[in-house]
A = this chain, B = another copy of it.
Amino acid sequence: MYDKKNILFQHGTMQILAEGLLDGTISLKSLLEHGNTGIGTGEGIDGELIILNNVAYRIDTNGKAIKLNDNFMVPFANVNFANYTFLKKVKDEPLNHLLSIIEKEIKGSNKFFSIKINGCFEEIKTRSAGKSSKPYPSLKEVAKKQVEFYGSDITGTVVSYHTPKVFQGVGVAGFHSHFLSDDLNFGGHILSAYLNYGVVEIQVMDTFEQHLPNDNLAYQNANLSNLKHLDEIIKKSE
A residues with CB within 8 A of B = 1-2, 13, 15, 33-34, 107, 109-112, 164-170, 204, 206-212, 214, 219-225, 227, 230
Given contacts A166-B13, A166-B170, contact A109 B207 (CB under 8 A): no
Residue of B nearest to A219 (CB): B110
Q: Do B224 and A164 touch (CB < 8 A)?
A: yes
Q: Do B207 and A165 touch (CB < 8 A)?
A: no
Number of copies: 2
Contacts of A34 in B (CB 8 A): 1
Contacts of A207 in B (CB 8 A): 209-212
Q: Give the Cβ gap from A168 to chain B, nearest Cβ, in Å.
A: 7
How far apart are the CA atoms of A126 and B140 in the complex, in Å? 47
Q: Do B212 and A166 touch (CB < 8 A)?
A: no
Q: Do A107 and B15 touch (CB < 8 A)?
A: no
Pick the contact of A33: B1, B33, B221 (CB < 8 A).
B1
List 14 A–B pairs whose Cβ atoms lie within 8 Å, in order of A's numbering. A15-B166, A107-B221, A109-B223, A110-B220, A110-B222, A111-B214, A164-B224, A165-B224, A166-B170, A166-B224, A167-B170, A168-B227, A207-B212, A208-B212
Give me the 8 closest cross-chain CB pairs, A-B, nearest first.
A107-B220, A208-B210, A166-B169, A15-B166, A207-B211, A209-B209, A165-B225, A111-B214
How far apart are the CA atoms of A220 and B112 in the complex, in Å? 12
How far apart are the CA atoms of A166 and B225 in the complex, in Å? 7
Q: Do A227 and B15 touch (CB < 8 A)?
A: no
Contacts of A209 in B (CB 8 A): 207-210
Q: Give the Cβ gap from A25 to chain B, nearest Cβ, in Å.
A: 11
User: A110, A112, A167 — which one has the most chain B CB atoms within 10 A of its CB?
Assistant: A110
Contacts of A33 in B (CB 8 A): 1
Contacts of A221 in B (CB 8 A): 107
How far apart are the CA atoms of A223 and B107 in the complex, in Å? 11
Residue of B nearest to A169 (CB): B166
Known A111-B214, A206-B212; 16 more pairs at CB < 8 Å? A2-B211, A13-B166, A15-B166, A107-B221, A109-B224, A109-B225, A110-B219, A110-B224, A165-B225, A166-B170, A166-B227, A166-B230, A170-B170, A207-B212, A208-B212, A209-B210
Q: Give the Cβ gap from A76 to chain B, nearest Cβ, in Å.
A: 13
